[in-house]
Amino acid sequence: MGNRETMAFGADGTIYYTTFDDYYLVGPGHLNVVAPDGTVVTHDTPGQAQNLVLGADGKAYQTAYDNATQQTTVVIAGPDGTIDTVVVPGRSGPTSAYNASSPVVAGPDGTAYVTTQSFESGGGYTTHVSVIPAGGGDAITISHPGAADGNAVTTTSGITYQTVHNAAGTTVIVINPDGTHRFVDLDGTPYLTAVDGNDGRVYQTTTIPNYGSPDGPITVVTVFAPDGTVEQTVPIEGSTWGQVAVTPTAVYQTTVDGSYPDQTTTVTAITADSPRDPITVEGTGNSPQLIDEDGTLLLITRDSDGSGTWHTTVTTIRPDGTPTSTTVDGQSNSFVVAPDGTVYLSMESDTSAEEPTTVVAIVSTNGTVEYVPLDGIRYGDPVTGGANAFQVTRADFSSARTVMAITPDGVFPTEIDGDVSGLTAGPDGSAYFLTTDYSDETPTTQLHVIEPDGVTHHALTVPGAPRTGPTFTEDGDVVLTTYTATGIHTTTLER
């Protein structure tokens, strides 16, 4: 019944999915459990249902907030078809078709942690973390004044962390699976929630602004040991620029110093021993991202001389902390990294030109740069697969789009009549994207394919409007789910 919004698959073949009576995916929902033998058990969720969360023990958690009672109901569905409900205080967050994140975090032992908030009549928020025991039973609720910074963070050690902030500062609630807990107060304002270091440690970043002080802002990284105690506190000069980046060999915190146009970005390794020299590059940009399982990081920064001339710097930080930087002409806020480490940067288009162009700078792992000009204005981010990359462009004030295939044999355009969404690339170098026709009472969607040669193009028309772009199965097949007035339609393109 209704329109599916979220689905989860258990390891034993059980399927969990939520449906809504309302086409716009608001209001009461239904949690459906489909056993491997096809048996279906359905439970209604009061209030506005949110996305499913699947625990390691095979249980699925569905939350729903009831505005009348100011409470959140957690519906727990087991793979054996049993369904339990637990009611906890507070609101589980805004829910709609576009903001339906769940407040549930499932621990490795089956214990679940639900983060909710209440708005007090005198002003301000109170954060609640409700601990639902793995074996069932009543929840243990821990409350603290202040607003929650994201959901709880569980670790391999079994300890869970919830960050809360209020006018007095930052508090991290350190919670054991049995519900025992303690509060750890930190200086400064938190930058989002804590980050799991994947070794039992947790890293919480806070900022001390030091308004009016010549010293400027200070970023502080607090390291929690696997037993939940504070192991290390690392102060770093500069404004906080994102959460820590965790790699197999180190944890890095990014900070920014200076003011436009004279700004620098510094990446500092947070290590208990063998300290590394900080890495400083010109400009500001994205927080570093992990691009290889060995621990290699990529940092993209942009700087200007203040007169409109921009440069973009690609910095690779190897697992031992050694950096290598390559600077290209132009400003890029859009990039993608190929599996072999090649970086494709789509530079900002000059929209004032009579015939605007988009330049894609290709930075190889050895530091060489190739500039590829494309007709039109950049539209969306590039994607990469195999030896190819793809970038969508548009003509000024035109509804038409062009999908540019950048291949070793050259650049090949595919003209598309209409908007393009869901662009993705397969590992063989093929591209997949969608166009949707809303002109009729019943919308239809076209699934487009550009083959690895960059030239061959074909499309398949399916009923309904898409909720997401094309996805891949483990076998490499392409799956598209569309929504119609009567339900859902799934198309599988075998490759």
For range 439-444, the mean pLDDT: 87
Q: How confident is the model at residue 94 (pLDDT cuts 50, 70, 90)?
A: very low
Expressed in percent and rounded to 5, the helix, strand and coil fractions of the chain are 0, 55, 45
Contacts of 40 (CB under 8 A, 6+ apart): 32, 33, 34
Q: Identify which has the larger pLDDT, 238 or 349.
A: 238
> Is the pLDDT score of 122 beyond 70?
yes
Q: Could you identify the residue written with the tokens 């000024």?
A: 396
> Is the pLDDT score of 86 beyond 80?
yes
Q: How confident is the model at residue 446 (pLDDT cuts 50, 70, 90)?
A: very high
> Is the pLDDT score of 149 beyond 60?
yes
> Is the pLDDT score of 24 beyond 50?
no
> Is the pLDDT score of 65 beyond 90?
no
Rounded Cα distance between 344 and 138, Å, is 52
Instruction: Give the pLDDT confidence score for residue 4 in this predicted structure.
Output: 43
Residue 333's nearest CA partner among 368, 288, 380 is: 380
Structure tokens, 369? 């740069």
Positive/negative CA dihedral, 288, 290, 295, 297:
negative
Instruction: Give the pLDDT confidence score for residue 22 in this predicted structure.
Output: 58
Q: Which of 202-211, 378-387, 414-423, 465-474 has the lowest mean pLDDT?
A: 465-474
Within a 13 Å sphere around the CA of 142, how many CA atoms are in the beta-carbon half?
26
> Is the pLDDT score of 364 beyond 80?
yes
For range 483-487, the mean pLDDT: 78
**Percentage above 70 pLDDT, the chain:** 92
> Is the pLDDT score of 405 beyond 50?
yes
Residues in the chain: 495
In sequence order, the β-bridge partners of residue 253 are 268
Phi then psi for residue 477, to 5 deg, are: -70, 155
Q: Which of 247-256, 305-314, 421-430, 444-453 has the lowest mean pLDDT?
A: 305-314
Rounded Cα distance between 105 and 131, Å, is 10
Q: Which of 13-17, 28-32, 129-133, 206-210 has the lowest mean pLDDT?
A: 28-32
**Mean pLDDT of the chain, nearest integer:** 87
Residue 170's nearest CA partner among 206, 203, 138 is: 206
Instruction: Give the pLDDT confidence score for residue 464 in this predicted structure.
Output: 92
Q: How confident is the model at residue 31 (pLDDT cuts 50, 70, 90)?
A: confident
Instruction: Give the pLDDT confidence score for residue 14 in this predicted structure.
Output: 87
In sequence order, the β-bridge partners of residue 196 are 202
Q: How confident is the model at residue 38 (pLDDT cuts 50, 70, 90)?
A: confident
Structure tokens, 430? 């093929």
> Is the pLDDT score of 388 beyond 90?
yes
Rounded Cα distance between 190 and 253, Å, is 14
Instruction: Give the pLDDT confidence score for residue 473 in this predicted structure.
Output: 86
In sequence order, the β-bridge partners of residue 236 are 219
Q: How confident is the model at residue 5 (pLDDT cuts 50, 70, 90)?
A: low
CB 448 within 8 A of CB 432: yes
Instruction: Give the pLDDT confidence score for residue 278 in this predicted structure.
Output: 93
Instruction: Give the pLDDT confidence score for residue 373 in this predicted structure.
Output: 93
For range 190-210, the mean pLDDT: 92
pLDDT in tens, 99-117: 345 688 998 888 999 999 8
Q: How confident is the model at residue 96 (pLDDT cuts 50, 70, 90)?
A: very low
> Is the pLDDT score of 92 beyond 80?
no
> Is the pLDDT score of 32 beyond 90?
no
**Cα 216 to chain center, whole Å?**
31
For range 399-420, the mean pLDDT: 94
Q: Identify which has the larger pLDDT, 123 or 480.
A: 480
Q: Identify which has the larger pLDDT, 89 or 22.
A: 89
> Is the pLDDT score of 175 beyond 80?
yes
pLDDT in tens, 257-278: 988 778 999 999 997 666 788 9
pLDDT in tens, 273-327: 667 889 999 999 878 888 888 889 999 999 987 777 889 999 999 999 999 999 9
Instruction: Give the pLDDT confidence score for residue 2 in this predicted structure.
Output: 39
Instruction: Give the pLDDT confidence score for residue 314 in this predicted structure.
Output: 94
> Is the pLDDT score of 425 beyond 90?
yes
Instruction: Give the pLDDT confidence score for residue 288 in this predicted structure.
Output: 87
> Is the pLDDT score of 382 beyond 60?
yes
CB 75 within 8 A of CB 45: yes
DSSP state of 297: E
CB 48 within 8 A of CB 65: yes
How far from 206 is each of 147, 168, 235, 271, 390, CA to CA, in Å?
Answer: 15, 13, 10, 17, 38
Q: Identify which has the larger pLDDT, 95 or 13.
A: 13
Q: Which of 120-124, 339-343, 357-361, 489-493 has the lowest mean pLDDT?
A: 120-124
